């Protein structure tokens, strides 16, 4: 079982002045936070990709490359790369370089993306949302096998007798991140690719049929069940108690949910939703180290997990709050679980 932290690079928001924290400040904070995660024995760091005013990281691979030079053990993953609007060849080359710099600690987590800003930015049609992902995932898996490439698709010029450099000593681990779509689960199972379920709301037990579907289809497509890897990514915040979390973090978290919710037609986020999420049946991994450890343990037993990613920067908690969560996760939560 591996335990990691994930971020989207949320910028802290000042409602009084209607301003966001500077990206320069946030990027340097993230570097310090991941250095601490590395020192406390956290196994994985996953960095998301966004192209918006409220996030600091449009290029996970750039940040991961910088982290490769200041960390020693932690795996460096995207979380996710929106491969539908990316060039798989360039993406693969970037991660090949990270892998060499970091002594084989690079990983790619591919996703379709729940935010769509990258599509018009890079000149892609949202009507091709699913087809783009399928084609580019196929090319990425071929590139990862290395050697001479001959490939032809619908959206990208064909590749004829090309070798992609640098060549690596091993394949870069590739995960697929999914929400609640059976087609996405089937795609990951068909390719035999490890799967990461984003469980950020509702009741986690409702994801159990999807997890079982992945296990069933993974084996049905001829893959070795001993090599199967299943992860969950969930919103996490660790304090001294759930009361402290409610007092210190609810407003920050709710403001983020409402900002995104206004774009998607969600109702305003309530204290009752937050408390329900922190309950035993909810999806939020928040509270004291003991409460967080027990919640992760329940996820592990429910789904048969091999990896858990604690997403810790929703809404832009302060740097001190982030450092506290990372320290408690590495020093108190993970030792309990291990």
What is the C-alpha separation between 13 and 227, in angstroms, rounded? 42
The pLDDT score that the predictor gives to residue 35 is: 98
Is the model's pTM score more than 0.85?
A: yes
Which whole number is the average pLDDT over 271-297? 98
Confidence of residue 335 (pLDDT cuts 50, 70, 90): very high
Query: Alpha-carbon distance 89 to 52, whole Å?
Result: 25
Summarize the confidence of residues 120-134 as an average pLDDT: 95
Residues 223, 266: Cα–Cα separation, whole Å: 40
Q: Do residues 98 and 60 touch, judged by C-beta distance below 8 A? A: no
- Pick left, alpha or beta for residue 16 (phi over 0 → left; psi -120 to 50 → alpha; otherwise beta): alpha
Mean pLDDT over the full length of the chain: 97
Question: Would you state the pLDDT for residue 146?
Answer: 83
- Classify the C-alpha dihedral 3-238-6-113 as positive or negative: positive
Q: Is 104 left (phi over 0), alpha (psi -120 to 50) or beta?
A: left
Question: How much is the average pLDDT of 119-139?
Answer: 95
Question: Which pLDDT tens digit goes with each residue over 42-91?
Answer: 999 999 999 999 999 999 999 999 999 999 999 999 999 999 999 999 99
Examine the pLDDT at 169 and tell me if it is beyond 90: no
75 close to 38: Cβ distance less than 8 angstroms: no
Query: For the chain, first and last CA: distance in Å?
Result: 8
The angle that helices 182-191 and 129-145 make with each other, rounded to 10 degrees, is 20
Query: Residue 126: its pLDDT value, please?
Result: 93
Strand duo 19-20 + 13-14: pairing: antiparallel
In terms of Cα–Cα distance, which of 209, 244, 215, 249 is closest to 230? 215
Give 121's pLDDT tier (boundaries 50, 70, 90). very high
The yes-or-no verdict on residue 154 having pLDDT over 90 is yes
Evaluate if residue 5 carries a pLDDT over 90: yes
pLDDT band at residue 113 under the 50/70/90 scheme: confident
Two tokens, residue 327: 């320290």
Contact 193, 175 (CB under 8 A): yes
pLDDT at 207: 97
- Structure confidence by residue, pLDDT tens digits, 197-214: 999 999 999 999 999 999
Long-range CB contacts for residues 181-188, cutoff 8 Å, separation at least 24:
182/210, 182/213, 183/130, 184/112, 185/210, 185/213, 185/214, 185/217, 186/213, 186/217, 187/134, 187/137, 188/214
Which band of pLDDT confidence, cut at 50, 70 and 90, is reported for residue 180?
Answer: confident
pLDDT tens-digit readout, 223-264: 999 999 999 999 999 999 999 999 999 999 999 999 999 999
Identify the CA nearest to 58 among candidates 69, 50, 66: 50
**DSSP symbols for 236-271:** EEE-S-HHHHHHHHHHHHHHHHHHHHHHHTPPPP-H
| CATH code, residues 2-337 | 3.20.20.30
Helix (H, G, I), strand (E, B) or coil at 278: helix
pLDDT surpasses 90 at 329:
yes
Contacts of residue 61, Cβ cutoff 8 Å, sequence gap at least 6? 78, 81, 91, 94, 95, 98
Helix (H, G, I), strand (E, B) or coil at 25: helix
CB count within 10 Å of CB 123 equals 7
> For residue 238, what pLDDT is reported?
98
Whole-angstrom distance, CA of residue 11 vs CA of residue 288:
25
**How much is the CA Rg of the chain, to the nearest whole Å?**
19
List alpha helices for 192-239, DSSP H. 208-220
Buried b (16+ CB within 10 A) or exposed e, 134-148: ebbbebbbbbbebee
Distances (CA, A) of 127 to 68, 101, 130: 37, 38, 8
């Amino acid at each position: 079982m591996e335990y990691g932290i994930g971020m989207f690079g949320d910028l802290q928001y000042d409602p009084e002045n209607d301003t966001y924290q500077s990206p320069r400040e946030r990027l340097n904070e993230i570097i310090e936070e991941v250095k601490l995660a590395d020192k406390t024995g956290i196994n994985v760091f996953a960095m998301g990709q966004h192209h918006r005013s409220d996030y600091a990281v449009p290029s996970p691979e750039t940040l991961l490359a910088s982290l490769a030079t200041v960390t020693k053990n932690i795996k460096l993953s995207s979380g996710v790369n929106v491969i539908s609007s990316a060039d798989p060849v360039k993406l693969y080359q970037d991660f090949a370089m990270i892998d060499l710099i970091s002594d084989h600690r690079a990983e790619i987590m591919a996703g379709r993306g729940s935010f769509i800003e990258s599509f018009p930015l890079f000149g892609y049609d949202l009507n091709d949302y699913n087809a783009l992902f399928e084609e580019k995932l196929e090319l990425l898996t071929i590139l990862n096998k290395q050697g001479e490439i001959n490939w032809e698709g619908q959206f990208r010029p064909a590749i004829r007798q090309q070798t992609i450099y640098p060549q690596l000593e091993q394949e870069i681990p590739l995960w697929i991140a999914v929400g609640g779509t059976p087609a996405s689960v089937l795609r990951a199972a068909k390719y035999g690719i490890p799967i990461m379920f984003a469980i950020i709301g509702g009741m986690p037990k409702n994801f159990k049929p999807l997890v079982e579907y992945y296990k069933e289809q993974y084996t049905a497509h001829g893959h070795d069940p001993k090599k199967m890897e299943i992860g969950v990514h969930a919103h996490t915040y660790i304090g001294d108690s759930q009361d402290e979390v409610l007092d210190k973090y609810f407003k920050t978290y709710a403001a983020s949910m409402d900002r995104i919710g206004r774009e998607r037609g969600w109702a305003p986020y309530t204290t009752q939703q937050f408390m329900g999420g922190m309950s035993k049946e909810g999806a939020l991994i928040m509270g004291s180290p003991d409460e967080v450890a027990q919640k992760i343990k329940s996820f592990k037993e429910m789904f048969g997990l091999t990896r858990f990613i604690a997403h810790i920067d929703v809404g832009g908690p302060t740097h001190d709050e982030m450092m506290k969560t990372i320290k408690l996760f590495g020093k108190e939560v993970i030792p309990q679980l291990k």
